[in-house]
Amino acid sequence: MSYLCVIRASAMQLKGKLAVITGAGSGIGRQLAVEAARRGLTVALIGRRADALHGTLEMMGHQRNHVALPGDITDPEIRIALKNYIAHWWGRLDVLVNNAGVLAVGPLASTSDAELERLMKTNVIAPAALIRELLPLLHRGAPSRVVNIGSMFGDIAYPLFGAYSASKFGLRGLSIALRREFKEFGVGITYAAPRATKTDAFSNFARLIDPLRMRVDDPAKVARDIWAAVARDADSVYAKGPERLFVLVQRLFPQLVDRSLEAQMADTRVRAFLMSQNGSPTTLEVGLRSSGST
């Protein structure tokens, strides 16, 4: 039996595995870390704010040698330092979770070049570069896995989330391409597409939840679903519910989605939100902030 066949033969056993989770100081990232610890993984937590990471560590218990490594993963030097640390202390990597990201809400007309660059740098370039840096360690851990945390907006492009949707479409495309590229080496890719979640970002678009008919999930549940998908070597994981059908409709009959979203945009509550922005998008980093970040 070939090496590749052996890799395909069984799902990943998570207990005892070594994982890196970015943006682990709050929200989905924090809950991914807590759930990883519950499942028996040893975790390196990455994020800009040391106090937030240590808060996550406290929630994970003390059964394993988890470690908090403060740093900005958009910085090439931080990515290299992380690679060197993992290589020295662990010698391999079993799971890389690219969770850190930035959310921007508002009309494209008032989104600056700096904000567009920040979105792409954090949501697409940093995950791609981190995968590249850690790939030799993932090879040593094979069968291993990369988990990219995307969004439903990476399948269904919502108005007022245009730049954010573009970045998540990019992350989804990267995931598909790398899944095909890495398959023969035993490195799998799971793309996770949660819908709206009750995190720090929620308050910045809460007024759009009802008019845009968004469902909102608890981050702990999202984390459980993602790790369950990793455990069965799933290529992707989407929230249960009508969103799965919407993704299929978007791909087959996009005009139906167009009409539905046009009607939602005409809602007076959406117009009120736009007026309240004074032409400026509301921005919030998810798991990776410029000040007081996770």
Residues 163, 210 contacting (CB under 8 angstroms): no
Q: What is the Cα–Cα distance from 258 to 195, expressed in whole angstroms?
A: 19
In this structure, the number of other CB atoms found within 10 A of the CB of residue 235 comes to 12
Q: What is the Cα–Cα distance from 144 to 15, expressed in whole angstroms?
A: 13
Residues with catalytic annotation? 164
User: 2: which 2 tokens?
Assistant: 């070939």
Q: Among 156, 151, 208, 145, which residue's Cα sits nearest to residue 178?
A: 145
Q: What is the Cα–Cα distance from 185 to 188, expressed in whole angstroms?
A: 9
In this structure, the number of other CB atoms found within 10 A of the CB of residue 63 comes to 10
DSSP H helices in the chain:
3-8, 27-38, 50-60, 76-89, 113-120, 126-141, 162-182, 202-209, 219-231, 242-252, 254-265, 268-277
- In which order are the strands placed within the sheet that holds 42-47? 67-70, 42-47, 18-22, 95-98, 144-149, 187-193, 236-238
